[in-house]
Amino acid sequence: MNFKDKNILVIGGSSGIGLATVNQLIAAGASVYNLSRSPSESWSNAVTHLQYDVLGDLSSLAAELPDQLHGLVYSVGSINLKPFNRLTEEDFLHDYQLNVMGAIKVIQQALKSLKAAKSSSIVLISTVAVKTGMSFHASIASAKGAVEGLALSLASEFVAQGIRVNVVAPSLTETPLAMALLGTPEKKEASAKRHPMGRYGKPEDLSSAISYLLSDDSSWVTGQVLGVDGGMGNLK
């Protein structure tokens, strides 16, 4: 994949799946803009850091973006797993704000630049738990279900403007966000065994799929939800 002369905005590129995506895009020649609360020490100088909290005011973001944006990936999210009767209204609203409203606010700010590129791609991140019912996932699965609905609506609305919109839906992936679930050798072994392919995900499993969907290699792909999940979504 070649990202030479492409400007890509990564939201949440300082850690985990977003960080692996930044590294892959830089290696493929992209100019990367990252939005997060703090920068990563492992970035090369090629990354332009935009310091924002997606839960806050993003109204000045558009002015900091390049005139043309060829891609946007929203890699911010949460894993807030609790029995349904312990989930509060605040839990549900927080997951919605972080996973859905954050993406909406960033896309609204980036839309002018995405349109100006004539051909561009948005990638949002869901979870395998939207299509595979999992206990304790009521809050995150309902927020990510909204992410998938948002993506399909925008894919339709933006198709005439040359903006593609797709989703990747990971299963458990070894990132700082997932440490509570993968923090001990026993948890790692049990999590690997739960997957039909016998292992949990690595950030690079996801960044490869995200980079494909951002690239011109997927120029005829829009409105799709791509499971990147070691078989968890579709296999028994």
Ligand X SMILES: NC(=O)c1ccc[n+]([C@@H]2O[C@H](COP(=O)([O-])OP(=O)(O)OC[C@H]3O[C@@H](n4cnc5c(N)ncnc54)[C@H](OP(=O)(O)O)[C@@H]3O)[C@@H](O)[C@H]2O)c1
At its nearest, how many Å lie between ligand X and the CB of residue 127? 4
At its nearest, how many Å lie between ligand X and the CB of residue 99? 6
Q: Which is nearer to ligand X, 68 or 80 (CB)?
A: 80
> What whole-number distance in Å separates Cα of residue 236 and Cα of residue 233?
9
Neighbouring residues of 22: CB distance < 8 A, sequence distance ≥ 6: 10, 13, 32, 34, 40, 43, 47
- C-beta separation of 75 from 54 below 8 A: no
Q: How many CB atoms lie within 10 A of CB 176?
A: 10
Instruction: List the end-to-end C-alpha distance of the chain, in Å, as a whole number.
Output: 33
Q: Which is nearer to ligand X, 42 or 119 (CB)?
A: 42
Question: Residue numbers of the site for ligand X (CB under 6 A)?
Answer: 12-18, 36-38, 53-55, 75-78, 125, 127, 170, 172-173, 175-178
At its nearest, how many Å lie between ligand X and the CB of residue 218? 19
At its nearest, how many Å lie between ligand X and the CB of residue 15? 4
> What whole-number distance in Å separates Cα of residue 126 and Cα of residue 148?
7
Q: Which is nearer to ligand X, 75 or 120 (CB)?
A: 75
Beta bridge partners of 124: 74, 167
Q: Which is nearer to ligand X, 1 or 177 (CB)?
A: 177
86-118 burial, b at 16+ Cβ within 10 Å, e below that, comes to ebeeebbebbbebbbbbbbbbbebbbebbeebe
At its nearest, how many Å lie between ligand X and the CB of residue 175? 3
Q: Which is nearer to ligand X, 30 or 232 (CB)?
A: 232
